[in-house]
Structure 1
Amino acid sequence: MNNGKISVRYAKALIMSAKEQKLLDPVRKDMELLLKTLRAVPELLQLLESPVVEPAQKLKVMNAIFSSKTEALTLSFIKLAITNNREEYLPGMARMYIDLYKQEKGIKQAFVTTAVPVEKEIRTAIINMIRKVFHIDIELNEKVDEHIIGGFILQVEDQLLDASVTGQINKIRKSLINKTYEKR
């Protein structure tokens, strides 16, 4: 079976259970913790994917790591995935749960690119401005790219606002090139 389909099915089941138990937010945090842990400790993912390691041992390790930090529902979910030999799909399941959670809550993605890291106050101002203008809840993803020299590039859904120095230079360059062709 396609691993995307497996991840979607498990994530949908988890979000339905979390919704019933009013645990959408805590389980989202658990899924973020799971992803963060699997990225930070690649050996853990190798252990989960290993056909040599017994499921009971995998359960023991995951229980030791997550039992004090996550909801019982999350632990049951991890146990179910391991018991059904789907542990290698846990990262995909966690990502899919987070995506479904954002859909459920109406949270959209916004991306801001700046030449230097954004300070906390400016980040808050950007989020508030986006909420006011677009009337949506957002999750702001930041990227630093010193090639834009200064200013920022903001993308919300399918709209792009390029207020970077590089963007302004490119506009001027295009304008000059068009004027040169008009004179000839």
Structure 2
Amino acid sequence: MAENTTIARPYVQAIFDLAQSTDSLDSWSDILQGLALIAADAEAVSFLGNPRVSNEQKLELFSGILGDDLPEAGLNLVRLLLLNQRIALLPDMAHLYEVERNRAAGSIDAQLITARPATEQQKTSICNALKVKLGREIHLECKTDETLIGGAIIQAGDLVIDGSAQGKLNRLASALIH
């Protein structure tokens, strides 16, 4: 994953620069999300990885599914990725594009994972604390995971704060073993 991210980053930067210069940030977001969904599909992965299938046939897969939602610039991107044998990077590219888009807008996506649904007061408190720590607007997505037992895990970019009971038990077990 880390290697894919490193390889995908220059492609994403070029797309982002193009999208900014043509005022098409939202359009490129939609294009990349659509391409990524196709590239991540199990049947499509098998088809795209088949050396007997020509690049033109692979390109037709994307254009056939997305139709008019895939403009010429999107087709050119797919051609380039197929030519360089990098089509599997599309899911990483879509994710990195959204990260770059949020960074440029001065915001960041964060995830709050709790054992039980968080209250509005807890969500607001966490958003405010993250905003102070990171200096950006926070888009908080909340999930529940009963295996955490209690507490919460907060993820925002590279920042991970594990305050879950399960995480504390794991750290305690690790400390006792070593």
**Aligned equivalents of 1:131, 1:61: Cα separation in 2:** 45
What is the aligned partner in structure 2 of residue 58 from structure 1? 58
C-alpha distance in 2 between matches for 1:151 and 1:4: 31
| Deviation (angstroms), 1:160 | 4.6
Q: Taking structure 1 as the reference length, what is the TM-score of the superposition?
A: 0.66
Q: Give the aligned partner of residue 24 of structure 1.
A: 25
1:159/1:85 CA distance change after superposition, 3 Å: closer
The one-letter amino acid of 1:22's match is: D
Separation (CA, whole Å) in 2 of partners of 1:118 and 1:29: 30
Q: CA deviation at 1:130?
A: 1.5
Shift of 1:75: 3.1
1:38-77 deviations in Å (ceiling 9; x for gaps): 33x2111222222221001011111011233345433332
Aligned-pair distance for 1:151? 6.4
Aligned positions, number: 163
Residue equivalent to 1:144: 144
Distance 1:127 1:31 in 2: 31
Verify: 1:89 aligned to 2:89, yes or no: yes
Q: What is residue 34 of structure 1 aligned with on the other side?
A: 35
Larger Rg: 1
Task: Please list, as runs of the form range in 1=range in 2, the aligned pairs for 1:71-150 lying within 5 A after superposition.
Answer: 71-116=71-116, 122=120, 126=123, 130=127, 134=132, 136-149=136-149
Identity of aligned residues (%): 25
Distance 1:16 1:4 in 2: 18
Scaled by the length of structure 2, what TM-score is found? 0.67
Q: Please name the residue that 1:176 is paired with.
A: none
Q: Does the Cα contact within 8 Å between 2:113 and 2:144 map onto a contact in 1?
A: yes
Aligned to 2:78, the other structure's residue is in SS state helix
What is the RMSD computed on CA atoms of the aligned residues?
3.6
Structure 1 residue runs of 5 or longer lacking an equivalent are 171-184
Conservation of the 8 A alpha-carbon contact between 2:12 and 2:93? yes
C-alpha separation in 1, matches of 2:147 and 2:128? 28
1-structure distance, mates of 2:78, 2:14:
12
Between the aligned partners of 2:6 and 2:156, the Cα distance in structure 1 is 28
Distance in 2 separating the partners of 1:62 and 1:76: 11
- TM-aligned CA distance change 1:49 to 1:89, over 3 Å: farther
Q: Which range moves more in the overlay, 131-140 or 91-100?
A: 131-140
Partner residue of 1:175? none
Cα pair 2:63 2:70 within 8 Å, conserved: no
Q: 1:32 to 1:127 in 2, by over 3 A?
A: farther
Question: Are positions 1:8 and 2:5 aligned together?
Answer: no
Contact conserved, 1:66 with 1:75, CA < 8 A, in 2?
no
